[in-house]
Structure formats: structure tokens, C-alpha cells
């Protein structure tokens, strides 16, 4: 039996686990880029294990929120989402047509609404299969850090030292290397069926478990362990936690298929133009034909048809429709037997809903069935050494496309904190904020989901009968728009978010009225003084584990501003200044990077004359690109940049603004630039 030790053991390689590994890979790659060849690079040692034979190949989650695309941008992979995903432009509502005899059914387009309110994000909302998303993360791990998922690894025992600080590696996990036939997973003969991984009750048991190869078993010791092992989490059980909440009361079928249909915009006659334009209309059809429970939604998704395990990626990439069909209701305690759910039954139900229109599914890519229940763990960690993330700590319906996004954003929140603690640049107490911040998000999400799922599953109002009115549905949909884009999150005051009410550590939120403390740093363009490109400032906040101080000194042509900036930088760069105090090695911007935006025409910013701390730092190789100095100025192509207006910055002769941004792009606080010591104290 082999033994090894790691900083972080990640159990489960779905979206949550892969995102964590990808983020750590990015952080490692940054430190490697600052290290000379032959010298050891500062590195987080992590392993990611999964008991299934391979990643998800088809189906599962498909919604990609704007905020998640922003975060992918910070990892350098948003272009893949934008290229392959289907952009959601509008939501179209269908309802029973009151002019059609209710016995025959009938649908009518009743309203179209914009999907993402203008100004919400630089990016849009996309639909893209989980299989592709997982692939992007795997590619990033390989390219940035040469790391891989270790498949067919099944954890069998767990121990944690009573005093977790008494030993370097307090966690011990034993893993069994599985033979392919033992994995319960993703590669069963019928790759179209996602039922094996759905949350439905399975009557079958694995009857032929071969004797495990004892020599191949392994003991891994770890400083930290993160359970990203889904709704039936093994890690959650080891630390004595359980998902609590509503038991399911409805169950749904999901199908990815190319339909042959004459229902409204789903007509397949424009197949070719669809592929060219990739524009997408999301359709929610609320339908009734005597049965009040029948509701469904259609959305377009890009899928890789006929992909067998191991086949070349994207061999047959086509646009399909995904539809969700409510199959039935459940009494308390009642469970659905997955063996009784077939693709034929799901399609039959969908056909009965869209009657008198035609709906046939010639080419089915994937289908599944699941029960909807909103559940949440009381806490997401044990002794700040073992954490759970994603579906392991919260489950909800996929109605608003939150599952995959929230799971990845959980580990986005956790990854940089773990890395900072392991690198020794943050106190371990920072880890408690994972639980406080993400539990609050999950709680809000479940409340939101309960409302949305209630409306989807509710009986639509008709002329004859009361029920869920379209107005009610639209109103909630609009109100929740920020939720569905992922941009609504506002972390509460903690050691990593300054207290706005008490104006702790001398923060001055009024100096940047367009910036919300506790929320993500939003996007506004500015012009890069070095390259003349118009740059989205948020895009400069790369997820490489670094904090950023965004300085907005004002117009440097003004001698008062220039003098003030000099003294601010002396403070920043001094031996006792915030940057050197928190940067143990000589690599001065490796913990905190300073980015400066001037309210000055870019050619009038004398870059060479600027204080050293503002200039870009050189990696051991290459030339600095002046990519830390920006100006509010005219772009050659896109008009005036308006960063000062966008962020609501107040800067004059006496005061400028310094915004502290966490490694996950959330704003920790806003200070006057003259109060840099206070920022340092914070």
C-alpha cells in the first residue's frame, strides 16, 4: 500500500472539484512564471480523485451565468464558453390560448422579455453542456500545472487528528483503486441515460464487486480535504453532516434532443441559420390540457452527439433543444423508481403537453429524471480542515440554471483562501469566512429556487380557474434577474469584507459610489497606457491568488494630485507599508498587485516618471507590458472610456480613492488614497 502527503485532497471531480483544482493550477502557474528555470517554484500540492471512470460526457447542467463567465475570464477560458455556448437573448413565455377549446389544448406566445438587463455584465448568459465546461477546466489544469484527475479512486476510510494543529497532516484518507467495472458510473452501456446519476431511488445493486487489489490501495495524508462529491457526498457523511430540508414533491424528466416539431420557434426548418447565428431564445411554456401539473421549458443547447467514452471531443457538435417535463407529483416519503422512467415515457408526456402540435425526437442525446427538493447543510466544514462544496452541501432544482454555477462559485470562494493560508500569506481564521459567505448564498438560493420551482410546478391560471398568473411569473422572473445572472451576491462584513455600517478601518464608501463593498468588482473599460488597447478593468483581475489595490488618484497633470500620489506610493512601498509587510519574498507584487487608473489623457501620463510601485513588475523573463497603468481616455475604436464615472469615483486635489479587491474579485473595502495605512491595518 503506498503512502503520500498533499496540501489539499479534493474528493470528486464534478464542476465544484474541477473548478477548485483549476484555480489552484492557475495560482501555481503564476508562481512558476515568477521562478527561474531550475529553481523550485512555490506550489500548492493538490490531488483530485473521483470514483467514476471518467468525467461527464453528456447532459447534466447547462446554464452558464454571466458572473460565471466573468470568473472564467479571470482564468483565461471565457472565450471557450462564448465560442461554444448558445447566448440567451430573450425569454419567451407561452401560455394556454384562451381562444382554443380547452379540451384540445393550444399554446400562444404571450410575452418576450430580455434575458439579461443591460449593464449587468460585460458577458451574457450562455447555455453549454456540463461536459464541455468540465473539459475546459481539465484542459486548464493540464496546460497550467500538468495535473489530472485520478479516476476510479474510491475513498474508504477517513481519520482526523483530535488536535488538528498538532501535526502537519491531520487528515488521513484511505483510497481503493477501482477496476473499471466496479465504478457505478458515468460509462454504463447506455450513455444516453443519465438515470444512473440522477437522484432517483435505484432498485438495482452492484452484484459483482470483484475483490479489490489490496496492493493498489493507497493512504493519502492531507492538510486540508474538500468534499466536492455531489449530493450523496461521502465526505459529508465522514464529518457527520446531513442535507436538511424539503423532501421532493415533484419529479421531472430532462431530454437533450433534436426535435421535429411545429411548435412556435422550435421549428427545425431554420436549422442551418441557427448554427450560423447561434442566437438563442429561451422558451418557457406553461401549458395545460386538463392536467394542471404539466409545465415544461425548452432551451437550446450545444451538445456533442454520439460521443462514446474516449471518442474524439466534439466529433459531432450540434445544436439541440433541452426540455424539462414535469412527470408527476410525490406524496411525502414517496420515491420514484428510476427503472420505471423511460425516454419513451418522457417524450410521450411532452407530446401530450404540446398537443395539438407535433413533437418527435428523432435524435436523443441524453435524458434523465430527477426529484426536486431543496436541501441544505447546517455548516459546510469541520474544524476548518475539511470542507464540502457544491451539491454536497446544497441541492435545489435546475429550473434557474444555478446548480453548476453555484457549485463552482463555492470553490472559487474557498480556493484562494486555502492557497493563501498554505502560502502563509493569510491567517488560517480566514477559512471560517468560506462557511459564512457561502452558506448565506446557498440559503438565499434555496429560497429563490423554492419560489421559482413553485411557479414552474404550479397550475397556470386559465380563464376559468385561478392559478399561477403570467404576470406573477414575469414579475418574479424580472425581480430575480440578478440572481439568475449570478451578480446579486453581496458578502456580509467579515475579516475579508469591511463593515460598511460602522465604516470600520476608516473606509470611505462615498468615494466610489459605483462600487459595492462585499459585491464583485464590476466591469468598466479604460485605456491601457502602454498598449493603447481598451481594456475591461475587471479582466485585469486575474485569478492567480493575488489581492489588488485599484488606485484612482485623479488627473496626474495636476501638481497637487501628482504630489499626493508620490506620498501615497512612499507609504505603499515603505518597509512597513502594506505591500512589503505581507510579501515575504522579494517578489513585490506576488501577494498584492497595484493597478492605477488615471483621469488623464493616456499620452500625458509620464509612465517612466511614475513611482516604482505602480510600474509593472518583471517576471524573470520577458519585458513588462505596462499593463498596470490605465487612463480614462478616448479609445481608437469604442469611444470614450468612462471608468471614473462608471465606478462613481470622487477624486480631486485633496483625495483619491483606493479600492481593495480580493483574489476572487469581491470588493473588501474602499479607502481614501491618503489613508493607505488604514487599509494596511485592515
List the one residue from 93, 234, 473, 682 that touches ligand FAD (CB under 6 A).
234
Please identify, among the stretches 97-105, 216-224, 396-404, 578-586, the one whose residues bind ligand FAD according to the rule CB under 6 A: 396-404
Active site residue 471: no
Nearer to ligand FAD, 48 or 517 (CB): 48
List the one residue from 129, 170, 194, 253 that touches ligand FAD (CB under 6 A).
194
Site string for ligand FAD, 55-84 (x = CB under 6 A): -----xxxx---------------------
Residue 59, Ramachandran bin (φ over 0: left; ψ between -120 and 50: alpha; else beta)? left
Burial class (CB in 10 A: 0-12, 13-18, 19+), 611: middle
- Cα diameter, the chain: 81
List the one residue from 404, 507, 659, 667 that touches ligand FAD (CB under 6 A).
404
Active site residue 398: yes
Q: How far apart are CA 661 and CA 667, in angstroms?
A: 5
By CB under 6 A, residue 198 contacts ligand FAD: yes
Nearer to ligand FAD, 50 or 664 (CB): 50
List the one residue from 69, 254, 255, 659 that touches ligand FAD (CB under 6 A).
254
Please identify, among the stretches 75-83, 292-300, 306-314, 399-407, the one whose residues bind ligand FAD according to the rule CB under 6 A: 399-407
Active site residue 236: no
User: Hey, which residues between 37 and 56 contact ligand FAD (CB under 6 A)?
Assistant: 49-52
List the one residue from 123, 224, 370, 598 that touches ligand FAD (CB under 6 A).
370
Nearer to ligand FAD, 226 or 595 (CB): 226
Nearer to ligand FAD, 17 or 545 (CB): 17
Give the residue from 123, 129, 130 showing the smallest Cα distance to 17.
130
Name the DSSP class of 574: S
466 in helix, strand or coil? coil
**Least distance between ligand FAD and beta carbon 663 (Å):** 21
By CB under 6 A, residue 14 contacts ligand FAD: yes
Cα distances (angstroms) measured from residue 285 to each of 376, 514, 578: 29, 38, 56
299 in helix, strand or coil? strand
Nearer to ligand FAD, 404 or 455 (CB): 404
Query: Torsion angle of alpha carbons 29, 32, 37, 41, nearest 10°?
Result: -130
By CB under 6 A, residue 85 contacts ligand FAD: no
User: Hey, which residues between 465 and 504 contact ligand FAD (CB under 6 A)?
Assistant: none
By CB under 6 A, residue 675 contacts ligand FAD: no
DSSP 241-272: ---EEPPP-EEEEEEEEEEEE-SGGG-GGGHH
Q: Spell out the long-range contacts of 468-476 with Cβ–Cβ below 8 A and sequence spacing 24 or more.
A: 468/286, 470/93, 470/95, 470/110, 470/111, 470/286, 473/93, 473/286, 474/93, 474/111, 474/113, 476/451, 476/452
Nearer to ligand FAD, 180 or 356 (CB): 180
Cα distances (angstroms) measured from residue 244 to each of 198, 374, 474, 633: 19, 8, 30, 53
List the one residue from 390, 481, 525, 669 that touches ligand FAD (CB under 6 A).
390
List the one residue from 197, 223, 300, 438 that touches ligand FAD (CB under 6 A).
197
By CB under 6 A, residue 255 contacts ligand FAD: no
Please identify, among the stretches 390-398, 444-452, 648-656, 674-682, the one whose residues bind ligand FAD according to the rule CB under 6 A: 390-398
- Please pick, among 155, 398, 553, 616, the residue that the annotation labels catalytic: 398
Q: How far apart are CA 22 and CA 649, in angstroms?
A: 34
By CB under 6 A, residue 280 contacts ligand FAD: no
By CB under 6 A, residue 228 contacts ligand FAD: yes
By CB under 6 A, residue 12 contacts ligand FAD: yes
List the one residue from 7, 8, 10, 15 that touches ligand FAD (CB under 6 A).
15
Please identify, among the stretches 94-102, 384-392, 523-531, 633-641, the one whose residues bind ligand FAD according to the rule CB under 6 A: 384-392
Nearer to ligand FAD, 413 or 600 (CB): 413
β-bridge partners, 245:
375
Residue 114, Ramachandran bin (φ over 0: left; ψ between -120 and 50: alpha; else beta)? beta
- Please pick, among 7, 50, 62, 589, the residue that the annotation labels catalytic: 62
List the one residue from 368, 487, 571, 665 that touches ligand FAD (CB under 6 A).
368
Contact 399, 30 (CB under 8 A): no
Orientation angle between helical segments 432-457 and 403-423, nearest 10 degrees:
180
Residue 577, Ramachandran bin (φ over 0: left; ψ between -120 and 50: alpha; else beta)? beta
List the one residue from 105, 230, 669, 680 that touches ligand FAD (CB under 6 A).
230
For 381-430, give the secondary structure using H, E and C: EECCCEEECHHHCEECCCCCCCHHHHHHHHHHHHHHHHHHHHHCCCCHHH
User: Hey, which residues between 128 and 167 contact ligand FAD (CB under 6 A)?
Assistant: 130, 154-155
Please report where in the chains the cell 426540455 appears, as a residue.
323
Active site residue 324: yes
- Beta strand 46-49 pairing with 2-11: parallel
**Least distance between ligand FAD and beta carbon 387 (Å):** 12
**Binding-site size, ligand FAD (CB under 6 A):** 37
For ligand FAD, the binding residues (CB under 6 A) are 11-17, 49-52, 60-63, 130, 154-155, 194, 197-198, 228-230, 234, 254, 368, 370, 390-392, 398, 401-404, 407
* Residues with a known catalytic role: 62, 318, 324, 398
Amino acid at each position: 500500500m503506498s503512502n503520500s502527503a498533499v496540501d489539499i485532497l479534493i474528493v470528486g471531480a464534478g464542476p465544484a472539484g474541477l473548478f477548485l483544482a483549476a484555480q489552484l493550477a492557475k495560482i501555481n502557474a503564476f508562481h512558476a512564471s515568477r521562478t527561474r528555470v531550475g529553481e523550485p517554484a512555490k506550489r500548492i500540492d493538490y490531488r483530485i480523485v473521483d470514483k467514476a471512470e471518467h468525467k461527464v460526457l453528456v447532459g447534466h447542467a447547462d446554464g452558464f451565468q454571466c458572473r460565471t463567465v466573468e470568473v472564467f475570464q479571470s482564468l483565461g477560458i471565457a472565450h471557450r464558453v462564448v465560442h461554444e455556448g448558445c447566448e440567451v437573448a430573450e425569454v419567451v413565455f407561452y401560455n394556454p390560448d384562451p381562444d382554443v377549446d380547452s379540451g384540445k389544448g393550444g399554446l400562444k406566445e404571450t410575452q418576450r422579455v430580455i434575458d439579461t438587463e443591460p449593464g449587468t455584465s460585460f458577458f451574457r448568459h450562455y447555455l453549454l453542456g456540463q461536459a464541455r465546461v468540465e473539459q475546459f477546466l481539465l484542459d486548464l489544469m493540464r496546460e497550467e500545472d500538468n495535473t489530472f484527475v485520478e479516476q476510479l479512486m474510491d475513498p474508504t476510510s477517513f481519520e482526523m487528528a483530535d488536535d488538528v494543529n498538532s501535526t502537519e497532516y491531520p487528515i488521513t484518507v484511505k483510497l481503493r483503486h477501482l477496476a473499471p467495472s466496479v465504478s457505478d458510473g458515468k460509462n454504463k452501456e447506455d450513455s444516453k441515460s443519465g438515470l444512473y446519476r440522477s437522484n432517483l431511488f435505484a432498485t438495482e445493486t452492484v452484484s459483482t464487486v470483484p475483490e479489490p487489489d489490496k496492493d493498489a490501495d493507497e493512504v493519502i495524508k492531507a492538510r486540508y480535504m474538500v468534499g466536492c462529491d455531489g449530493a450523496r457526498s461521502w465526505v459529508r457523511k465522514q464529518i457527520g453532516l446531513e442535507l436538511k430540508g424539503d423532501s421532493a414533491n415533484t419529479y421531472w424528466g430532462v431530454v437533450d434532443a433534436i426535435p421535429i416539431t411545429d411548435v412556435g420557434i422550435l421549428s427545425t426548418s431554420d436549422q442551418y441559420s441557427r448554427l450560423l447565428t447561434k442566437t438563442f431564445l429561451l422558451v418557457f411554456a406553461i401549458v395545460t390540457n386538463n392536467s394542471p401539473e404539466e409545465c415544461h421549458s425548452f432551451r437550446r443547447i450545444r451538445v456533442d452527439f454520439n460521443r462514446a467514452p474516449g471518442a474524439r471531443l466534439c466529433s459531432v457538435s450540434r445544436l439541440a433543444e433541452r426540455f424539462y417535463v414535469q412527470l408527476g407529483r410525490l406524496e411525502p416519503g414517496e420515491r420514484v423508481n428510476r427503472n420505471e422512467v423511460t425516454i419513451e415515457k418522457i417524450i410521450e408526456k411532452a407530446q401530450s403537453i404540446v398537443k395539438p402540435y407535433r413533437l418527435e425526437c428523432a435524435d436523443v442525446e441524453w435524458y434523465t429524471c430527477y426529484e426536486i427538493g431543496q436541501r441544505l447543510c447546517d455548516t459546510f466544514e469541520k474544524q476548518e480542515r475539511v470542507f464540502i462544496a457544491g451539491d454536497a452541501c446544497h441541492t435545489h432544482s435546475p429550473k434557474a440554471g444555478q446548480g453548476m454555477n453555484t457549485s463552482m462559485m463555492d470553490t472559487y470562494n474557498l480556493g484562494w483562501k486555502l492557497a493563501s493560508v498554505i502560502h502563509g500569506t493569510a491567517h488560517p481564521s480566514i477559512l471560517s469566512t468560506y462557511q459564512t459567505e457561502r452558506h448565506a448564498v446557498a440559503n438565499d438560493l434555496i429560497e429563490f429556487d423554492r419560489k421559482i420551482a413553485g411557479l414552474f410546478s404550479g397550475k397556470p391560471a386559465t380563464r376559468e380557474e385561478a392559478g399561477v398568473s403570467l404576470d406573477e411569473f414575469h414579475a418574479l422572473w424580472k425581480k430575480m434577474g440578478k440572481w439568475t445572472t449570478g451578480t446579486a451576491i453581496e458578502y456580509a462584513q467579515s475579516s475579508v469584507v469591511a463593515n460598511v455600517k460602522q465604516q470600520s478601518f476608516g473606509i470611505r464608501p462615498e468615494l466610489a459610489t459605483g462600487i459595492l463593498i462585499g459585491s464583485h468588482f464590476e466591469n468598466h473599460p479604460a485605456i491601457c497606457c502602454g498598449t493603447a488597447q481598451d481594456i475591461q478593468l475587471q479582466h485585469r483581475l486575474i485569478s492567480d491568488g493575488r489581492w489588488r489595490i485599484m488606485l484612482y488618484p485623479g488627473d496626474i497633470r495636476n501638481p497637487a494630485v501628482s504630489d499626493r500620489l508620490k506620498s501615497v506610493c512612499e507609504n505603499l512601498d515603505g518597509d512597513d507599508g502594506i505591500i512589503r509587510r505581507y510579501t515575504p519574498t522579494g517578489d513585490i507584487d506576488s501577494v498584492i498587485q497595484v493597478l492605477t487608473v488615471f483621469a488623464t489623457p493616456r499620452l500625458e501620463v509620464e509612465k517612466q516618471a511614475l513611482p516604482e510601485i505602480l510600474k509593472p513588475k518583471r517576471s524573470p523573463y520577458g519585458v513588462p507590458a505596462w499593463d498596470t497603468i490605465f487612463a480614462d481616455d478616448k479609445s481608437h475604436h469604442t469611444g470614450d472610456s468612462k471608468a471614473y464615472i462608471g465606478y462613481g469615483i470622487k477624486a480631486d486635489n485633496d483625495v483619491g480613492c483606493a479600492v481593495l479587491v480580493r483574489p476572487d474579485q469581491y470588493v473588501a473595502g474602499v479607502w481614501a488614497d491618503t489613508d493607505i495605512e488604514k487599509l494596511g491595518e485592515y
